[in-house]
C-alpha cells in the first residue's frame, strides 16, 4: 500500500471539507468563543442624544463669560430638565443627556458656585465633554459582521445594543475513542504490558482548548464489534469521530476494517510521525483514525482533525508563522516531518530550537510540555543551517 | 484631590498584591487552564520495558541474515512470550513489550514469511523500532514543575502518569457589579435617558476568557445602602469585587464612600481613560471601583484588576511587546494614555495603527471589536513618527 505525500493528503482533505454549518441561538453570556451567524446591526443611535461625558454644568457656550443661573440638576438616568435657556445652567452628570439648548459641559472643578449662580473660572472649548449623537454607533449600522469570533468585546457591544440572544454557528462535535488492549484507564490496574491511556485525555483537552464540543468516549479494547458499535453510536451525535490506535498494518487493527465500509479518503501518508492516519467520509460526517502513539496522535489531530472541526465551527485555530532556527538542524528522515520545538519571541523575532527535547520515537509526549510549537519540514534529506527561516505551526499562543 | 501618576499607581499596586494562594484538588479533565500547585513526579519508568514502536517481528540482531523461526505473537497489552532464544522471532505489535533477549524489531513489510519461518528482506539497524526503558520519562523525575499552567499537553502527560486527581491553584474569584440609575439590564425597558448596561457583561466575559472565576452580580441603581449590601455580600465569597460607575466626583457617587470605609490604596490616577479608578484593600481582599464608561472600565480592568487576579490565580495574562506604528501619531492629551489599536503580524513584525478607530470619548466600545490591542503612551505632549516603536499590551492573541 503506497503512501501519498503530505501535500496530496492536504489537497484531498481540502476537497472534502464539510460544507454545512449548523446555527443555534444562545444567550449573550454563553456566546463567548462562538462565531456569529448573522450581522449584528444597531437598532438605535448610541448615544441617542447628546450626552455628558463628565460631571459638570450644561451651559450655552455663548454664556461662558457671564454669571449663569443654576436652575436644577439632571442625575444620570433621569431627565427632569429638558430645556435650557440663555443664561441658565443645569447640573448634569456623566452619562446624562444634555438638555436641549445646551452645547457645552463645564466640569465641576472649573466653576465657582455662589448660591444659585455660577461663574466659569477655567474655560473650556465649545462642545466640551459632550458626546454627539451616534458617536459610538448609528441606527442600521452593521456593528459586527457575521463570521466574527465572539470575544469579550463583541459581548460588550452586543450588550450595549440590547441583544440578549445571539445566533451563532454551532461548534464542531468531536468524539474521541482510544482503542487498544494495551491501554488502561486512569486508576485502572492491569498487567505489566499495559500502559495508561493518555490520547483520549490529551485530544479531548486540546479540542476543548481550541473551542470544539468534545466528548471523551473512553477506551475500547481491540474487539471489532465493540469498536464498531462505539464508532457508529458516536457518529450519530457527532460530526467527527476520532479513534486512536489500530490504524497500522498489524493483525489486531480492526478500526480500518470498520472505517473501510465507508468512503476512505486516504490511508497512509508519507509523514513522520503519524504515517498510518486514515480519514473516512460518511455522508457529511467523518471518521478519522489516528495512530496510537501519543505524539503521533497529537500531530495528526492537528493536521487532519482541526481543519475539519474548524470548518464546521467557522473559525481558524492554527497559524503558520516564519521563525528562525537557533541551531542547525539535520533532517535524517526522508518524510515530511513535524518536530516539536521550543518557541520564544526574542528581540522582535520568533526563535525556535529543539534543545532539551528528547529525540526518539513518537511515543514521547513530554516534548509537548512548556512553550512549544510544531516545526514543519518538507520531505527529503537535508541540513538547515543556524538562522534558517522555518515554518512553524502555532496552536497555543501562551508563549507570546 | 491630586491624581497620582500611572507609574506611582502601579508601584502601589505591586506593593499590595495578594500574597496567599488557595489550592484545591480537581479531576484531571477539569484541570485545563489551572496552574499546578505541586511538581508532577513520575512514579514509574515509561516505557517500563523495551517496547515495540511498530508492528513487526522481535528478533536478535545477530540473526538478521538467517532463517528465523516464528514461535508466536504478543498482541499489544498481553505478554504471552517473555523470552526469545537465538534463531527465534516473535510477532510483536506497536506498544507491546519486546520479549527478553530480543534487541531489534523488523517491520512486517521488511520480511518474507514462509509458514513458521521468516527471512529479513530489507535490513534495519540494531535496536530498530525499540523504545528504550524510560525513553519518555524515568521514575522520580520531575516531569512538570509546579506553577506550570495546564494545557492539553500537561493533561496528556498526567494521564500517562496515571494521575486522575491534580492539586491546582484556585482561580481568582472576581465579582462584577455595575452601578448607576441610568443603566438598564438586557431586555429591560426604561426612559429616554437610560442606556443598556454592557460593563458587567464585557468584564465578566473578559475575566472568563483570561481564566478567572467570574460572577456577574448585575446592576444596582444609585442607592447607597443597596450598593453597600451587594459589595459586602460579594466580598464574602470573592477575592475581588469590581464596581463600574460612581467613582468620579459627582453628587451621586456612593461607591467611593463605601469603599472609603476600608484602606483606600489610591483614588485618581493621571491616565486617559479611567482617571477616577479607585482600589481599596479589605484584609486580603479588594474592592476595585472602575469608571462607568465602557472603554474606561475595560482599560482600568486590564491595568488594575488583572494583576491582582493573575497573582491569585498563579499565571500572567498580559504581555507587553514592541510594535511599529504604521502612521504618525500625535499625542494631544498630557496624561499616560491607552489607545485601542489594530494589530497585525506582517513580514515578521508587529504593526499597529488606529485606522478606522473612532477617536472621541471613552464611551466608545466598538473600537475594541476586531484585531485590537492597547498602545501605552507615556505622559506628555509629543508626536510619534511613522515606524516608531511603541509598547503594546496584548490581552487577546487571536490576531496571531
Q: What is the three-class DSSP state of B56?
A: strand
User: Tell me: the pLDDT tens digits for A126-185?
Assistant: 999 998 898 878 899 999 999 999 999 999 999 988 999 999 999 999 999 998 877 888
Q: CA-to-CA distance for B344 and B122, rounded, in angstroms?
A: 51
pLDDT at A94 over 90: no
Chain A interface test: which of B2, B39, B153, B388 (most A C-beta within 10 Å): B153
Q: CA-to-CA distance for A376 and B139, rounded, in angstroms?
A: 32
A254 and A177 in contact (C-beta within 8 Å)?
Answer: no
**Which chain A residues are Cβ-neighbours of B160 within 8 angstroms?**
195-198, 294, 365
**Which chain A residues are Cβ-neighbours of B251 within 8 angstroms?**
55, 73, 75, 91, 93
What is the average pLDDT across A313-324? 93
**B residues 27-86 near A, CB within 8 Å?**
28-29, 32-33, 46-49, 51, 53-55, 73-79
User: Tell me: the pLDDT tens digits for A44-68?
Assistant: 888 888 988 888 999 999 999 999 9
With pLDDT > 90 as the criterion, what percentage of chain B qualifies? 64
**Which chain B residues are Cβ-neighbours of A148 within 8 angstroms?**
369-370
A65: number of Cβ within 10 Å: 9
Query: Would you state the cell numbers that stand for residue B399, as one nine-digit string?
Result: 490576531
User: Tell me: the pLDDT tens digits for A344-377?
Assistant: 888 878 999 998 776 655 556 777 776 689 999 9
**Which chain A residues are Cβ-neighbours of B82 within 8 angstroms?**
none
User: Which candidate from B97, B159, B182 shows the least CB-CB separation from A95?
Assistant: B182
- Which contiguous run of DSSP H or E holds residue A235? helix A224-237
Do residue A93 and residue B251 have CB atoms under 8 angstroms apart?
A: yes
pLDDT at B361 over 60: no
B288 and B279 in contact (C-beta within 8 Å)?
Answer: yes
Q: Which domains does chain A have, with CATH numbers?
A: 6-22+170-313 (3.40.980.10), 23-45+136-169 (3.90.105.10), 51-131 (2.170.190.11), 319-399 (2.40.340.10)
Q: CA-to-CA distance for A173 and A183, rounded, in angstroms?
A: 25
With pLDDT > 90 as the criterion, what percentage of chain A qualifies? 64
Chain A interface test: which of B250, B253, B296 (most A C-beta within 10 Å): B250
A144 and A40 in contact (C-beta within 8 Å)?
Answer: yes
Residue B137 CB partners (closer than 8 Å, separation 6+): A366, B42, B45, B46, B143, B161
Do residue B156 and residue A294 have CB atoms under 8 angstroms apart?
A: yes
What is the average pLDDT across A85-107? 92
Do residue A372 and residue B199 have CB atoms under 8 angstroms apart?
A: no
Opening angle at CA B10, ends B6 and B12, nearest 5: 115
Inform me whether the C-beta atom of residue B320 falls under 8 Å from chain A C-beta atoms: no
What is the average pLDDT across A287-292? 92
Do residue A164 and residue B182 have CB atoms under 8 angstroms apart?
A: no
**Which chain A residues are Cβ-neighbours of B181 within 8 angstroms?**
75-78
Kindly report the nearest CA distance between residue A270 and chain B, in angstroms: 15
Do residue B152 and residue A202 have CB atoms under 8 angstroms apart?
A: yes
Least confident of A358-372, B45-59, B293-307: A358-372
Do residue B361 and residue A186 have CB atoms under 8 angstroms apart?
A: no
Residue A144 CB partners (closer than 8 Å, separation 6+): A36, A39, A40, A154, A157, A158, B369
CA B227 to chain CA centroid, nearest Å? 32
| More confident position, B118 or B367 | B118
Q: What is the three-class DSSP state of B202?
A: helix
pLDDT at B358 over 90: no
**Which chain A residues are Cβ-neighbours of B159 within 8 angstroms?**
186, 196-198, 200-202
State the burial class of residue A101 (Cβ atoms within 10 Å of its Cβ: 0-12, 13-18, 19+): middle
pLDDT of residue A1: 55
Q: CA-to-CA distance for A393 and A336, rounded, in angstroms?
A: 14
pLDDT of residue A251: 47
| More confident position, B49 or B206 | B206
**A residues 187-246 near B, CB within 8 Å?**
187, 190-206, 208-209, 216, 221-222, 245
User: Which candidate from A164, A197, A209 shows the least CB-CB separation from B186?
Assistant: A164
pLDDT at B260 over 70: no
Kindly report the nearest CA distance between residue A191 and chain B, in angstroms: 8
pLDDT of residue B252: 45
Of A250, A173, A257, the closest CA to residue A217 belongs to: A173
pLDDT of residue A118: 95
| More confident position, A74 or B371 | A74
User: Tell me: the pLDDT tens digits for A111-131?
Assistant: 999 999 999 999 999 999 998
pLDDT at B255 over 70: no
Confidence of residue B54 (pLDDT cuts 50, 70, 90): confident
Query: Would you state the cell numbers that stand for residue A22, as one nine-digit string?
Result: 449548523
pTM above 0.80, yes or no: yes
ipTM of the complex as predicted? 0.85
Do residue A191 and residue B79 have CB atoms under 8 angstroms apart?
A: yes
Do residue B97 and residue A192 have CB atoms under 8 angstroms apart?
A: yes
pLDDT at B184 over 70: yes
Kindly report the nearest CA distance between residue A283 and chain B, in angstroms: 30
Q: CA-to-CA distance for B33 and B127, rounded, in angstroms?
A: 40
pLDDT at A342 over 70: yes
pLDDT of residue B241: 96
- Which contiguous run of DSSP H or E holds residue B256? helix B255-259
pLDDT of residue A183: 80
Among chain B residues, the shortest Cα distance to A372 is held by B153
Least confident of A84-88, A186-190, B246-250, B368-372: B246-250
| More confident position, B99 or B187 | B99
pLDDT of residue A104: 96
With pLDDT > 70 as the criterion, what percentage of chain A qualifies? 92
Amino acid at each position: 500500500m503506497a503512501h501519498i505525500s503530505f501535500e496530496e493528503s492536504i489537497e484531498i482533505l481540502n476537497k472534502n471539507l464539510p460544507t454545512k454549518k449548523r446555527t443555534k441561538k444562545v444567550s449573550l453570556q454563553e456566546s463567548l468563543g462562538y462565531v456569529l451567524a448573522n450581522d449584528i446591526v444597531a437598532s438605535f443611535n448610541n448615544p441617542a442624544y447628546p450626552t455628558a461625558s463628565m460631571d459638570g454644568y450644561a451651559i450655552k457656550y455663548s454664556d461662558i463669560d457671564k454669571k449663569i443661573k443654576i436652575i436644577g440638576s439632571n442625575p444620570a438616568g433621569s431627565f427632569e430638565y429638558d430645556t435650557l435657556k440663555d443664561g441658565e445652567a443645569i447640573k448634569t452628570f456623566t452619562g446624562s443627556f444634555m438638555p436641549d439648548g445646551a452645547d457645552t459641559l463645564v466640569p465641576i472643578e472649573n466653576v465657582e458656585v455662589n448660591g444659585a449662580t455660577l461663574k466659569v473660572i477655567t474655560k473650556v472649548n465649545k462642545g466640551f465633554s459632550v458626546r454627539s449623537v451616534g458617536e459610538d454607533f448609528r441606527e442600521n449600522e452593521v456593528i459586527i459582521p457575521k463570521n466574527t469570533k465572539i470575544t469579550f468585546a463583541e459581548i460588550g457591544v452586543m450588550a450595549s445594543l440590547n441583544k440578549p440572544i445571539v445566533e451563532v454557528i454551532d461548534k464542531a462535535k468531536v468524539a474521541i475513542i482510544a482503542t487498544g488492549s494495551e491501554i488502561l484507564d486512569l486508576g485502572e490496574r492491569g498487567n505489566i504490558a499495559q500502559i495508561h491511556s493518555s490520547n483520549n485525555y490529551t485530544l479531548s483537552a486540546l479540542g476543548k482548548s481550541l473551542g470544539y464540543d468534545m466528548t471523551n468516549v473512553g477506551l475500547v479494547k481491540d474487539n471489532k464489534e465493540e469498536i464498531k458499535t462505539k464508532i457508529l453510536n458516536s457518529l450519530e451525535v457527532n460530526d467527527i469521530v476520532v479513534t486512536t490506535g489500530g490504524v497500522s498494518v498489524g493483525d489486531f487493527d480492526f478500526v480500518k476494517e470498520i472505517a473501510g465500509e465507508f468512503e476512505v479518503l486516504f490511508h497512509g501518508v508519507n509523514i513522520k510521525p503519524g504515517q498510518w492516519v486514515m480519514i473516512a467520509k460518511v455522508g457529511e460526517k467523518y471518521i478519522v483514525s489516528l495512530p496510537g502513539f501519543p505524539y503521533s496522535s497529537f500531530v495528526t489531530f492537528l493536521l487532519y482533525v482541526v481543519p475539519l472541526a474548524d470548518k464546521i465551527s467557522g473559525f481558524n485555530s492554527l497559524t503558520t508563522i516564519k521563525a528562525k532556527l537557533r541551531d542547525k538542524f539535520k533532517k535524517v528522515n526522508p518524510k515530511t516531518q513535524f518536530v516539536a520545538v521550543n518557541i520564544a519571541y526574542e528581540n522582535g523575532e520568533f526563535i525556535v530550537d529543539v534543545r532539551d527535547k528528547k529525540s526518539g520515537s513518537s511515543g514521547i509526549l513530554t516534548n509537548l510540555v512548556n512553550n512549544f510549537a510544531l516545526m514543519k519540514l518538507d520531505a527529503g534529506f537535508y541540513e538547515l543551517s543556524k538562522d534558517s527561516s522555518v515554518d512553524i505551526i502555532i496552536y497555543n499562543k501562551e508563549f507570546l
